[in-house]
Amino acid sequence: MSTRLPDHGRLIDRSRQVKFTFNGKWMRGHPGDTLASALLANGQMLVGRSFKYHRPRGIVASGGEEPNALVNLGRGARHEPNQRATTTELFDRLEARSQNHWPTLEFDVGAVNAMVARFLPAGFYYKTFIHPRAFWKHVFEPIIRKSAGLGAAPDPETMDADRYEHFYAHVDLVVAGGGVAGLLAALEAGRAGKRVLLVEQNAHWGGRAPVDGDLIDGAPAEIWVKNTVEELEKMENVTLRTRTMLAGVYDHGYVTAYERVADHTPGEDAPRHRLWRIRTAQVISATGAIERPLSFPGNDKPGVMLASAVRDYIVNYGVAPGDTLVVVTNNDDGYRTALAAHRAGLKVACVVDPRAEADGDLPHEVRSLGIRVMAGSAISKVKGLKKVVSVRVQAHRGYDGGHDEIPCDAVAMSGGWSPVVHLWSHCGGKLTWDEDQACFRPDHDRPPTDQNGAGFVTCVGAADGALHGDVTMAATATAMADMLGNDVSAPRVDLAREAPLAPIWIMPEAAGAKKRAKMWLDFQNDVKVSDVMLAAQEGYESVEHTKRYTTLGMATDQGKLSNINGLAVLAEALDKGIPQVGTTTFRPPYTPISMGAIAGEARGEVFQPLRRTPIHDWHEAQGAYMEPVGGWRRPYCFPRDGESHEDAVNREIDATRRSLGLLDASTLGKILVKGPDAGRFMDMLYTNMMSNLKPGKCRYGLMCSENGFLMDDGVVVRLDEDTFLAHTTSGGADHVHAHMEDWLQCEWWDWKVHTVNVTEQWAQIAVVGPNTRKVLEKLGADFDLSAEALPFMAMAEGKIGGFDTRVFRISFSGELSYEIAVPASQGRAFWAALHEAGAEWNATAYGTEALHVMRAEKGFIMIGDETDGTIIPQDLGLTWAISKKKEDFLGKRGQERVHMTDPDRWKLVGLETLDGSVLPDGCYCIASGKNANGQANVQGRITSTYYSPTLSRGIAMGLVQNGPDRMGEVVAFNKVDGSTVNARIVSPVFYDPDGEKQNV
């Protein structure tokens, strides 16, 4: 059983205790522990069940590569599934629960899957669940969803209690990894005056060197690490960050790093995670290497761990994974674990080494301690269910029937090391196969390239394939010297001489099908050697296809332990070389990062910018029902106590048509266009003539894209000879301004025109209804507001009630209407003044729905209702607004195309249901016959439909084939319930067709 050792543990503080729970059971650890080391210290070897077969699983690794020890962490608003125990720092009252078992971790019904494992091979789902079709949704999927899975999804009713943020940094150099190579790289870059950011994913500096006992400049690595960090901390041009993982490398030197600011101090008032968004000239990847498991039967049982992890737990945390250890290794480095275990007082039963000879310095040292070294042998079986009881050892090659049964409760395995080449690969750096070390390493001739075509990622240390400390330091020094153009001297590293490893991908060599079905490659996704071989047999030659067929490397660990082993097995099965098979694609992030970190600050109130008019607060205070319009929130209606939205809209319309309505129209786009060529420019932008508009006058205009489609509309005002004010739709202001600048800057760059978007400078209020002039006269104007002095479609400037105003006699409602703009700083006060003065005429604020209904009663089109990007003005009967005199305007040529001039285009008409009901929005006008798909043919559709309180009936506008020629005809529209409703084609102007009311 795993246990806490009386000594060792360089990272823990034994003077203090930390209490935590696992599956509700209280346990104790020390500050400095990870959840994984603390679980092992409490004898908890079994930590979860596997994804597919529900096999008992224990901790395998000691870092971010861990595939098994995933837990549900925390509860309620802080519950998060799939958290790796190996990278979770222990804190007081931590709550962890194991995943993917039912009913309990110890007794799991799903484990029956394991007994039928031979019926669940790779591709099982594809082969089995295709037919019958309906079964998938109702039978297979619910069962599979229940049995396969990871952690519990967070409760949808809770909100993440923490906050997150981004941080932007611009540096010369980012160094990823704070092991000895990364520290040396940062030190040299720092000394050379570069702006350096050094990030380390763990809470400690130094990486593996202090654990593995390397001597640097004659002293333990820890001393060199401490001195180097101290020197770096003193440099103002160097920023050091622990608990920060370089997550991704992207084009143009864009790099993201994931800082876990407060994961280890939950509840503290701090951002939990911070996503660093970095621009850097160079990336130094000092990300080290990951040890590979060995594929032998039963290699997934709790108690079988990576040899390096066993060393980490002993040296860093003072935790022994068992009392009696067997080491199985195809390389000399694995012997370091036997030595570390021996030094910690554990029994090392033997070292199993498939190489015919083991005579490097380390095997010699192990032998000299009296530990049995079994060269040329392999593990052929691991006995025990939820823990290891013994291993069976036989000849790796040429099985003669003989074997040893060796009792033990922990197995340390080492299949060699794979450099972490992820950051090299994210932007397309290529790899080369290193035969001697049996690993992929960066191909220096094919680096990821920046915008100048030069490499911008440099791997140093183990990440570059320099797997031994002496080579690491020397090669890092050379790489930095090349980069910085300096002389760099490498620290001297003393270590044992190592013999070459043997590239052994399965053991024993001649294992049969039954044994291969017990050799795990991907622990998290339950992919075995037999699955990959089956894929090869079934014709999956590409590693990318095999990955998807078997799910190898597709789990949350993204195959950090399994990829190389898997593709080596595939290569063997295909009888190809490993480099010919190649790797799957390394994609960011390196390990999973939180959704919160990606979202950053964008949640709650600041999820999205919400644009507010100067009168917004008043609307909210009135309890207005708001709707989004082009980034703004506008009042849809102002319901009073107990009033439905429909009732409110009807009341607002009634009040406006009978007496006085007030609309906050501040969101309307307002763009100034000025210059000697402004008239010419406006003539090009609008379909109608603008250059002949007289100063002080307004004209409604249509704006089309160059393809002829209607894009925006609004009233253009000529302020003076050189200056136009173009009103746009609320949602269109920014786009129209960009459209103008596009044409000015790219096509008509020699025209003397300037534009400025002044939308927000003005609060604009539409004062509407028969009593409009009375309320304005009551407020008192210093200019003549009469119909004679200021007729319909004219504008004037002056003071009203002491406010600085611009008044436009324009009407979107059909009533007498003055749209009045005041500087935004006066908007709120002017709104209040209008309400106060208008009280005697029942001044009523109205919202966008009343606006919509009133414009529909008048047959005015609305961009986005009557138009959808495929509509030209001619479709809407707006030919009167298309100049025939102008030589050109944007959209003119487009509107002459054959399809645009087709007489069968659907055209705008009004529609009245025979029964007075309101037509459903978006419904279709039915034609006779069916189309090729058996659907009813259609001859038109509804674009706007409302209940008109003015006419006490439903009214609608729609596009109908040859509609304007079919006045009075009755056509049918479909309804959601399958029935139809009859409507008569009428003029779209339902109210005051002669425009007498707006013109008084």
**Candidate segments 19-27, 519-527, 750-758, 861-869, binder of other proteins by CB under 8 A:** 750-758
What DSSP designation does 252 have?
G
Using rule CB under 8 A, residue 169 touches other proteins = yes
Using rule CB under 8 A, residue 738 touches other proteins = no
Nearest approach in angstroms of CB 162 to other proteins is: 11
Using rule CB under 8 A, residue 893 touches other proteins = no
Nearest approach in angstroms of CB 615 to other proteins is: 10
**Candidate segments 130-138, 352-360, 606-614, 886-894, binder of other proteins by CB under 8 A:** 606-614
Question: Which distant-in-sequence residues (6+ apart) come within 8 Å of 318 by Cβ?
Answer: 4, 5, 6, 7, 8, 9, 12, 14, 41
Subset of residues 757 to 776 that bind other proteins, contact rule: CB under 8 A: 758-762
The mark string for 867-886 relative to other proteins (x by CB under 8 A, - otherwise) is --------------------
Task: By CB under 8 A, name the one of 405, 601, 777, 888 that touches other proteins.
Answer: 601
Q: Which is nearer to other proteins, 219 or 606 (CB)?
A: 606
DSSP SS3 for 774: helix
DSSP SS3 for 744: helix
Nearest approach in angstroms of CB 242 to other proteins is: 13
Using rule CB under 8 A, residue 892 touches other proteins = no
Using rule CB under 8 A, residue 613 touches other proteins = yes
DSSP SS3 for 963: helix
Pure H helices in 575-639: 578-581, 595-599, 616-621
Counting other chains too, the contacts that 701-705 makes at CB distance below 8 Å and 24 or more residues apart are 701/726, 701/881, 702/873, 702/878, 702/881, 702/882, 703/728, 703/736, 703/739, 703/890, 704/872, 704/873, 704/889, 704/890, 704/891, 704/894, 704/895, 705/890, 705/891, 705/894
Neighbouring CB atoms inside 10 A of 16's CB total 11
Nearest approach in angstroms of CB 94 to other proteins is: 20
Strand order in the sheet with 410-414: 304-306, 410-414, 324-329, 347-353, 373-375
Subset of residues 823 to 852 that bind other proteins, contact rule: CB under 8 A: 823-829
Extract the tokens encoding 867: 């138009």
Task: By CB under 8 A, name the one of 33, 66, 108, 165 that touches other proteins.
Answer: 165
Nearest approach in angstroms of CB 547 to other proteins is: 35
Nearest approach in angstroms of CB 327 to other proteins is: 44
CA 895, 901, 905, 911 torsion-angle sign: positive
Nearest approach in angstroms of CB 631 to other proteins is: 8
Task: By CB under 8 A, name the one of 400, 487, 575, 605 that touches other proteins.
Answer: 605
Q: Which residues of 179-195 are buried (b: 16+ CB within 10 A; e: fewer)?
A: bbbbbbbbbbbbbbebb
Extract the tokens encoding 751: 């025209």
Using rule CB under 8 A, residue 675 touches other proteins = yes
Nearest approach in angstroms of CB 725 to other proteins is: 10
Q: Which is nearer to other proteins, 708 or 827 (CB)?
A: 827
- C-alpha 442, offset from chain centre: 29
Candidates 481, 478, 459, 458; CA nearest to 470 is: 478
Subset of residues 791 to 820 that bind other proteins, contact rule: CB under 8 A: 799, 801-804
The mark string for 183-222 relative to other proteins (x by CB under 8 A, - otherwise) is ------------x---------------------------
Using rule CB under 8 A, residue 282 touches other proteins = no
Task: By CB under 8 A, name the one of 15, 143, 234, 269 that touches other proteins.
Answer: 269
Beta-strand runs (E) in 377-522: 377-383, 390-395, 404-407, 410-414, 417-419, 431-434, 439-442, 457-459, 493-494, 520-522
Task: By CB under 8 A, name the one of 10, 264, 277, 697 that touches other proteins.
Answer: 277
Using rule CB under 8 A, residue 270 touches other proteins = yes
Task: By CB under 8 A, name the one of 755, 771, 811, 913 that touches other proteins.
Answer: 755
Task: By CB under 8 A, name the one of 520, 586, 632, 924 that touches other proteins.
Answer: 632
What DSSP designation does 883 have?
-
Q: Which is nearer to other proteins, 30 or 195 (CB)?
A: 195
Using rule CB under 8 A, residue 743 touches other proteins = no
Using rule CB under 8 A, residue 614 touches other proteins = yes
Subset of residues 635 to 674 that bind other proteins, contact rule: CB under 8 A: 672, 674
Count CA within 13 A, CB hemisphere, residue 659: 15
Q: Which is nearer to other proteins, 268 or 541 (CB)?
A: 268
Task: By CB under 8 A, name the one of 155, 268, 359, 797 that touches other proteins.
Answer: 268
Contact 265/219 with Cβ under 8 angstroms? no
CA 870, 872, 875, 876 torsion-angle sign: positive
The mark string for 221-250 relative to other proteins (x by CB under 8 A, - otherwise) is ------------------x-----------
Using rule CB under 8 A, residue 159 touches other proteins = no
Nearest approach in angstroms of CB 767 to other proteins is: 17
Pure H helices in 799-929: 824-838, 848-857
The mark string for 689-728 relative to other proteins (x by CB under 8 A, - otherwise) is ----------------------------------x-----
What DSSP designation does 201 have?
S
Using rule CB under 8 A, residue 256 touches other proteins = no
Question: Which distant-in-sequence residues (6+ apart) come within 8 Å of 454 by Cβ?
Answer: none
Extract the tokens encoding 470: 């002496």
Subset of residues 512 to 531 that bind other proteins, contact rule: CB under 8 A: none
Contact 613/826 with Cβ under 8 angstroms? no
Using rule CB under 8 A, residue 750 touches other proteins = no
Using rule CB under 8 A, residue 252 touches other proteins = no
What are the φ and ψ backbone dihedral angles of 59, each rounded to 5 degrees? -75, 130
Nearest approach in angstroms of CB 215 to other proteins is: 34
Helix (H) or strand (E) holding 637: strand 632-637
Nearest approach in angstroms of CB 283 to other proteins is: 17
Nearest approach in angstroms of CB 842 to other proteins is: 24
Extract the tokens encoding 484: 């910085």
Bridge partners of 805, per DSSP, are 798
Task: By CB under 8 A, name the one of 77, 161, 510, 610 that touches other proteins.
Answer: 610
Nearest approach in angstroms of CB 255 to other proteins is: 13
Task: By CB under 8 A, name the one of 372, 611, 697, 774 that touches other proteins.
Answer: 611
CA distances to 670, 689, 702, 815, 884 from 880, rounded to whole Å, are 24, 11, 11, 22, 9
Q: Which is nearer to other proteins, 188 or 259 (CB)?
A: 259
For the chain, how long is the longest CA-to-CA vector? 116
- C-alpha 28, offset from chain centre: 37
Nearest approach in angstroms of CB 193 to other proteins is: 14
Using rule CB under 8 A, residue 19 touches other proteins = no
Pairing of strands 46-49, 25-29: unpaired
- Give me the residue label for tokens 């075509």: 453
| Site size for other proteins (CB under 8 A) | 56
Using rule CB under 8 A, residue 612 touches other proteins = yes
Contact 18/33 with Cβ under 8 angstroms? yes
Contact 590/248 with Cβ under 8 angstroms? yes
Nearest approach in angstroms of CB 836 to other proteins is: 13
Q: Which is nearer to other proteins, 758 or 787 (CB)?
A: 758
Task: Name the residues that contact other proteins, by CB under 8 A.
Answer: 163, 165-170, 195, 239, 262, 268-271, 274, 277, 279, 600-602, 605-606, 608-614, 632, 672, 674-676, 723, 752, 754-756, 758-762, 799, 801-804, 823-829
